[in-house]
Amino acid sequence: MRREHIDHELPWGYWLRAQLVDGKPMLVDDETGERWATLRQAFWCGRLGMPDGFNAPPDAQLELLHAVLALRARRGTIDSREERSDLFEGSWLFRANFLDWLGGVGILTAPPDVYHKAELTPEGWSALAMLHATRPDAVKTRRPSGMTVQDLVSLGLGPDPREERLAEVERVVAGWDAAFLRQVDAGRHSVVLVERGRGPVPTRQTVWALAFAAERERDDFYEWLCVRLDRWHAWSEHASSYNSRELTHKLLVVLASSLQPSGIDRPAMVEALGRAAPP
């Protein structure tokens, strides 16, 4: 079910028609006659040719696909070591096969052997919008609320001075269910992860904190986090589902894999992560 021309500004499947079939709501492709229960099923089974499994597309695989697309939408050129460490459990073969597959089906451009330069095709952008909008409730409850595809593409990026960009991120993410924020407490400069609870009164609580010796070091690390805004929802799960040390370890692994010569004082970040303690 591959279409020649797709409007990249509209979510994938915008051409499907809703219709009752045997009393059940279905999505019908008038060109092929195919019928699907959901957009995600139409994409996973009809477009990508993957098996239906338990009568529903697998959330984990679609979340990985979403993460790969979101990472490219957010950052453009990709650090292959960091992506392999963060998304593919360190497996070069897993990553290569996955990106080859997406290139082969036309979701990513497919320059041979240059995975870090693969970009979203128009259909890839359309698929990202659909996957972002149709996450099931079980996934939505574990991600920062309020993020839009536009936030993903532009929030905190651009030519503005660093402090203006970081402040813009903090302003927008303040209402999310989970967000990294800067904090000063008793003269200590920290980055904290704040989450909204799920009780009768969903108050916000700090579930992870990382202190730095100086404000500049703290802001260097926060900028590193903001560039990776697309990964916040996944990283926050390591604090809420496990414990704060799990998140510290995850960030240390990803940071180490992204080490490159730059103006940022990476050793200071690593040192701070190494001495991180639960809040």
Q: Which of 116-130, 229-243, 252-266 has the highest mean pLDDT?
A: 116-130
144 occurs within a structural domain: no
Shared domain check, 153 and 134: no
232 token code pair? 């916040």
Shared domain check, 213 and 251: yes
Question: Distance (Å, rounded) from C-alpha 126 to C-alpha 134?
Answer: 12
Shared domain check, 159 and 76: no
Tell me the whole-structure pTM to 2 decimals. 0.76
Question: Distance (Å, rounded) from C-alpha 115 to C-alpha 82?
Answer: 13
Q: Which of 139, 161, 190 is the last residue of a domain?
A: 139
Shared domain check, 62 and 120: yes
* Of 26-35, 128-137, 214-223, the least confident: 128-137
Give the angle subtended at the CA of 90 by the CAs of 88 and 96, to the nearest 5°. Answer: 60
Shared domain check, 193 and 119: no
Find the radius of gyration of the CA atoms of the chain: 20
Shared domain check, 126 and 74: yes
Residue 226 burial class via C-beta count within 10 angstroms: exposed 0-12, middle 13-18, buried 19 and up: buried
Q: Residues 209-218: pLDDT tens digits?
A: 999 999 999 9
Question: Distance (Å, rounded) from C-alpha 19 to C-alpha 177?
Answer: 35
Q: Which of 87, 108, 139 is the last residue of a domain?
A: 139
46 occurs within a structural domain: yes
Shared domain check, 185 and 160: yes
5 occurs within a structural domain: no
12 occurs within a structural domain: no
Shared domain check, 154 and 263: yes
Domain residues for the domain of 44 are 17-139
Q: Residues 59-118: pLDDT tens digits?
A: 889 999 999 999 999 887 788 889 999 999 889 899 989 999 999 999 998 765 666 678
1 occurs within a structural domain: no
Q: Which of 108, 139, 170 is the last residue of a domain?
A: 139
How many domains, in total, are found in the chain?
2
9 occurs within a structural domain: no
Shared domain check, 169 and 78: no
Please report, as a single letter, which amino acid is at residue 233.
H
147 token code pair? 């993020």
